[in-house]
Amino acid sequence: MRYLPLGDADRRAMLATIGVGDVDGLYRDVPRAVFETARLDLPDGLGEIEVERALGRMAAENLSAGAAPCFLGGGAYRHHVPATVDYLIQRGEFLTAYTPYQPEASQGTLQAMFEFQTQVALLAAMDVANASLYDGATATAEAAMMANRLTRRKRAILAGDLHPHYRAATATYARFNGFEVVARPPDPDAADDLEATIDDTTACVVVQNPGAFGQVRDFGALAAACHRAGALLVVATAEIVSLGMVKPPGAMDADIFVGEGQSLGNPLSFGGPYLGLMATRDRFVRQMPGRLVGQATDADGRRGFVLTLTAREQHIRREKATSNICTNSGLCALAFAVHLALLGEAGFARLAEINHARATALAGQLAAIAGVTLVNDTFFNEFTLRLPKPAAHVVAALARRGILGGVPASRLWPERPELADLLLVAATETNGDDDIAAFAGALAEALR
């Protein structure tokens, strides 16, 4: 077997050193009743050719988003990842390294993560960011628990246009962790008065910007209302590219920022692995979960980087840790960092503009179709259309025509039949004029 370097002579010599006749002798503590008793119905190993053929066949059964005009958003966005990113993250010293617990032998990972933390803090206009969490949904749940610790309260108000997966994950954690979640009803028109929901039992209010239906808002007044009541404001984003143009959470006086970083550096990959982002104010840093990389000086007086404030984490604090998180999304964070390093200040702002320009052009064309209404006043690169018939049927018809034409609201809010005619549509820099024309044409057809 190509991954196993021991030969039979090696094995015999090693067994002799150990002093047992065969390897099964090393398993003597395993009860005989359970050892090697089951006949496992699994095939034997294959060479590369056969494995490639088998998995290649599975891959060929999928319609990849690059093979069809793709306008899907809903918390995952199709962006162009520069060729450089994939080569750098596949360098073996990054790919095959462990968590950097031995800093002297991991300065590559540590410096890259220190830079990542800085990049995230800058994007969100916050003081400090962690070295990643699993995804936007779990980051939201962690933010609610962080707010509970900071305020010593137990109630999170979740805005009606928070991504339903973020809401659902937070509600699951709430049930078992012992706090309460007030989930406001879905709010396509961004009309909900969240300030009225806050009282002195509120630990945090969680909003999303742009919202799940696409609306863009300034939450400065809401932040003030939260703070007057002793609560914290958590601002989430599912589309990190929006921060190239949209006012960042830090400038709205938010206390905690959480986000999904998939849009930069990371492929869609059918939903994972993705990249949870979290940033906060300096004064809250000791309650922030996740790893933190800090600058340090070595014995020769040279600058370097180490994992720090680790006493908050599971391997030390155990049942009193800020989180049980251990492995996070290191390589995804590196991909994000490389992509953003390539974009830089000028490129990131321009990327955001191109996304917004594509979306405004698309919205214009689609809203012009008879029977189609644009729901949003504001949006960045994703907006909501109201169709004259259930959006799920329309999307299925579009798929049959080879167009991935948006996410029906019923896919994300299946328990809300009143949203069945809503379609979430996203456009990015990967959508050219012909994509847009094809979509508009096919949608008009499908609605005739």
Partner 1 sequence: MSEGSQAVSASSRRAAAASATRNRGLEIDELLIFEQDVPGRCGVDLPAPPRFADRLGGVRRAGPIGLPGLAEPQVIRHYTRLSQKNYGIDTGIYPLGSCTMKHNPRLNEKLARLPGFADLHPLQPPETVRGALMLIDTLAHWLKTLTGFPAIAMSPAAGAHGEICGMMCIHAALDARGETRTHVLVPESAHGTNPATAATCGYAVDAIPANTRGRVDIAALKRRLGGDVAAIMLTIPNTCGLFEDEVLAIAAAVHEAGAYCYLDGANFNALMGRLRPADLGFDCMHLNLHKTFSTPHGGGGPGSGPVALAASLARFAPLPWPVHDSGGLWLIERADGAAVDSIGRIKGFHGQFGMFVRALAYLMSLGLDGLRQAAADAVLNANYLLASLQDVLTPSFPGPAMHEALFDDHFLKDTGVTTLDLAKALIDEGLHPMTMYFPLIVHGALLIEPTENESKASLDRFVAAMRTLAQRARAGDSGFFRAAPRLAPRRRFDETEAARRPILRWRPAKEAAE
Partner 2 sequence: MSILRFTREHEWVRLDDGEATVGITDFAQSRLGDVVYVELPEIGRALVKGREAAVVESVKAASDVYAPLSGAVTAVNAALANDPGLINRAAMGDGWFFKLKPADRAELDDLMDETAYTAFIKELG
Footprint on residues 254-283 left by partner 2 (CB under 8 A): none
Q: For residue 210, is the peptide bond before it cis, meaning its omega torsion is within 30 degrees of 0?
A: yes
Closest distance to partner 2 from the beta carbon of 316 (Å): 6
Buried b (16+ CB within 10 A) or exposed e, 299-308: eeeeebbbbe
Residue count at the site for partner 1 (CB under 8 A)? 215
Tell me which residues in 305-364 interact with partner 2 (CB under 8 A). 310-312, 316-317, 320
Least distance to partner 2, CB of residue 312, Å: 7
Report the residue number, 100 or 160, with the smaller CB distance to partner 2: 100
Q: Least distance in Å: CB of 69 to partner 1?
A: 12
Residue with smaller CB distance to partner 1, 26 or 371? 26
CB atoms within 10 A of CB 332: 24
**Sheet containing 276-280: order of strands:** 128-129, 276-280, 256-260, 232-237, 204-208, 155-158, 180-183
365 binds partner 1 (CB under 8 A): no
> Does residue 206 belong to the site contacting partner 1 (CB under 8 A)?
no
Return left, alpha or beta for 371; rule: phi > 0 is left, psi -120 to 50 is alpha, else beta.
left
Q: How far is 167 from 140, CA to CA, in rounded Å?
A: 8
CA distance 259 to 137: 8
Are 378 and 215 in contact by the 8 Å Cβ rule? The answer is yes
Q: Identify the residue whose tokens are 């840790």.
A: 321
Cβ distance to partner 2 smaller for residue 217 or 312 = 312
**Does position 17 bind partner 1 by CB under 8 A?**
yes
Judged by CB under 8 A, the residue of 69, 119, 234, 249 near partner 1 is: 119
Report if residue 21 touches partner 1, rule: CB under 8 A: no
* From 149, 227, 247, 401, residue interacting with partner 1 (rule: CB under 8 A): 247
Give the containing element (helix H, strand E) for 141.
helix 136-151
Six token digits for residue 378: 């504001």
- Helix/strand/coil for 24: helix
Q: Does 51 bind partner 1 (CB under 8 A)?
A: yes
Which one of residues 80, 286, 389, 400 is an interface residue with partner 2 (CB under 8 A)? 286
Which of partner 1, partner 2, none has residue 243 at its interface (CB below 5 to 8 Å by kind)? partner 1
Which range in 147-155, 226-234, 262-270, 434-442 contacts partner 1 by CB under 8 A? 262-270
| Binding flags for partner 2, 120-139, as an x/- string (CB under 8 A) | --------------------
Could you give the CA distance from residue 198 to residue 156 in angstroms, rounded to a whole number? 10
- Which is closer to partner 2, CB of 128 or CB of 387? 128
Residue 29 interacts with partner 1 (CB under 8 A): yes or no: yes
Q: Per CB under 8 A, does 66 bind partner 1?
A: yes
Residue 60 binding partner 1, by CB under 8 A: yes
Kindly state whether residue 255 participates in binding partner 1, applying the rule CB under 8 A: no
204 binds partner 1 (CB under 8 A): no
Question: What are the beta bridge partners of residue 182?
Answer: 157
The minimum distance between CB 327 and partner 1, in angstroms, equals 4
Nearer to partner 1, 212 or 232 (CB): 212
**Contact of residue 70 among partner 1, partner 2, none (CB under 5-8 Å per partner type):** partner 1
Report the SS3 class of residue 284. helix
Structure tokens at 407: 């996410």
Q: What is the CA radius of gyration of the chain?
A: 25
Among residues 183, 226, 236, 268, which is the contact residue for partner 1, using CB under 8 A? Answer: 268
Residue 356 binding partner per list partner 2, partner 1, none, with a CB distance cut-off of 5 to 8 Å that depends on partner kind: partner 1
Residue 148 binding partner 1, by CB under 8 A: no
Of the pair 145, 343, the CB lying nearest partner 2 is at: 145
Bond preceding residue 249 cis, omega within 30 of 0 = no
Q: Which residues of 340-366 are buried (b: 16+ CB within 10 A; e: fewer)?
A: bbbbeeeebeebbebbbebbeebbebb
Q: Which of 207, 223, 338, 394 binds partner 1 (CB under 8 A)?
A: 338
Q: What are the backbone dihedrals phi and psi of residue 383, each rounded to the nearest 5 degrees, phi first?
A: -145, 170
374 exposure class (CB count in 10 Å sphere: 0-12, 13-18, 19+): middle
Residue 113 interface partner, choices partner 1, partner 2, none, CB cut-off 5-8 Å depending on type: partner 1
Task: Give the footprint of partner 2 on this chain (CB under 8 A).
Answer: 286, 310-312, 316-317, 320
